[in-house]
Amino acid sequence: MNRMFGRCVLCAVAASAAGTVLAKENTQTWGDEKYRPKLFKRFGDIVNVPDGLTKDPQGNIYHSAPNLVNPEYPGVIVKRDFRSGRWSVLCAGLRSPKTGFGRPMGLEFCEEDGNLYYCDNQYFDSKDYASRVMRVVLDKKGEVLRIETAVDNVKLANAIRFYKGDMFITDTYFDLDRKDGVGVGGVYRIPLAACKDKTVSLLPKPDYRKDPYFLCATETKPLERGDISGADGLAITREGHLYFGTFGSGRFYTAKRRADGTYEPAKLIFEDPKRFPCCDGICYDEVANRIIMSDSCLNALHTWDIAKEQKGECGFGELWRNGDSTGAHGLLDQPCEPMIWTDKKGSRKLVVANFDMTFPGLTNKKNDKFHTLSVIDL
Ligand SMILES: [Ca+2]
Ligand SMILES: [Ca+2]
């Protein structure tokens, strides 16, 4: 009897502890309540650092997790079946021969060849060009046949997009050790044909301007939190224009595509460290003709209105922001990648991955046990 009582007391304590957690979720929020993020998915520790998001033409969702917080679990790509809503493991990230880890981050389904590509971010394990872009070759049923290296010699492969036969990736660190303390990162453009039958190797960074695949550079003057990370998120509009921003300082750029398929030099279009101190993953919202940016530092989602930009106005806006949160009830917890997705009822959603692996100076203060995706009704 006493033992039973003891157990009940323990339960009561646990419930009260959970209640405390709930109360703390009443963190400050900014933004229209209709955009309050809700919980889309909570994973077990098998996905302990949620990162990249993409979808295929059938509406299946692919989600990557480099799992840097709890290395008991390998980096992994999971898949949500559109019809059943069930999640399953698609594959583990292929282990790097240099580090022994597989670290899938930004990923994109390529409609041109029907395969899934992901950035293998080895930078936290090796700064010696160990990162790669991997191609997950799928059969007609979507099962994995093999994983092969499309691009190597990358420092920190971060985001990946496709446009008209070309792959575009960001490399967040060039490690040029500039005297002025500015961090350089950049965007590369690699024709799919160039890496179809062999691996494309990027040139070492001291020669980056000679690299035939180099497209444009970003510069990051560190803010108070001392982060010099460069190009991170990348989005491409239906006309092929590029948008990208720096993780360390939220500098936001565009590079316009010319009619002949070449690109104009990158242009800095927004820089305001108070409102946008960190550009993590971004996506293009074709319906609203805007870019949606996740801000890992402020726990926020911002927007960039392209029509306003074309009129010479500032396109910046804030969609949602909240204070420190575990994400247990869907609030943002270091949002790193947004994705537009239409559910079975035809309702347009914004799905957001919450990285929840805190760095100095971020709103997120703790790597907690809630590994989550949020969702917002658009
Ligand atoms: Ca957290
Ligand atoms: Ca969390």
Q: Give the Å distance between the CA of 34 and the centre of ligand 2.
A: 22
Report d(CA 149, CA 169) in Å as an integer.
Answer: 14
Low-confidence ranges of the chain (pLDDT < 70): 1-24
Q: Is residue 142 left, alpha or beta, with left meaning phi > 0 and alpha meaning psi from -120 to 50?
A: left
Q: Give the Å distance between the CA of 326 and the centre of ligand 2.
A: 4
Look at residue 21 and tell me if it is in a domain: no
Please check whether residue 251 is in contact with residue 219, taking contact to mean a CB–CB distance below 8 angstroms: yes
Look at residue 6 and tell me if it is in a domain: no
Of 172, 167, 100, 92, which is closest to residue 133 (Cα–Cα)?
Answer: 167
Report d(CA 217, CA 208) in Å as an integer.
Answer: 9
**Closest ligand by atom to 334 CA:** 1
**Closest ligand by atom to 374 CA:** 2
**Cα 172 off chain centre by:** 12
Q: Give the Å distance between the CA of 333 and the centre of ligand 1.
A: 5
Q: Give the Å distance between the CA of 370 and the centre of ligand 2.
A: 4
Report d(CA 32, CA 276) in Å as an integer.
Answer: 18
Look at residue 284 and tell me if it is in a domain: yes
Report d(CA 67, CA 49) in Å as an integer.
Answer: 5
What residue has token string 């009619």?
259
Neighbours of ion ligand 1 (CB under 5 A): 333, 356, 364, 366, 368
The pLDDT value recorded for residue 26 is 78
What SS3 state is found at 46? Answer: helix
Q: Give the Å distance between the CA of 333 and the centre of ligand 2.
A: 6
**Closest ligand by atom to 369 CA:** 2
Look at residue 4 and tell me if it is in a domain: no
- Residue 160 belongs to domain with CATH number: 2.120.10.30
Q: How many residues does the chain have?
A: 378
**Closest ligand by atom to 50 CA:** 2
Look at residue 9 and tell me if it is in a domain: no
The pLDDT value recorded for residue 53 is 98
pLDDT digits (tens, 9 = 90+) for 255-310: 999 999 999 999 999 999 999 999 999 999 999 999 999 999 999 999 999 999 99
Q: Give the Å distance between the CA of 359 and the centre of ligand 1.
A: 11
Look at residue 263 and tell me if it is in a domain: yes
User: What is the residue range of 356's domain?
Assistant: 28-377
Look at residue 16 and tell me if it is in a domain: no
The pLDDT value recorded for residue 11 is 35
Look at residue 197 and tell me if it is in a domain: yes
- Total domains in the fold of the chain: 1
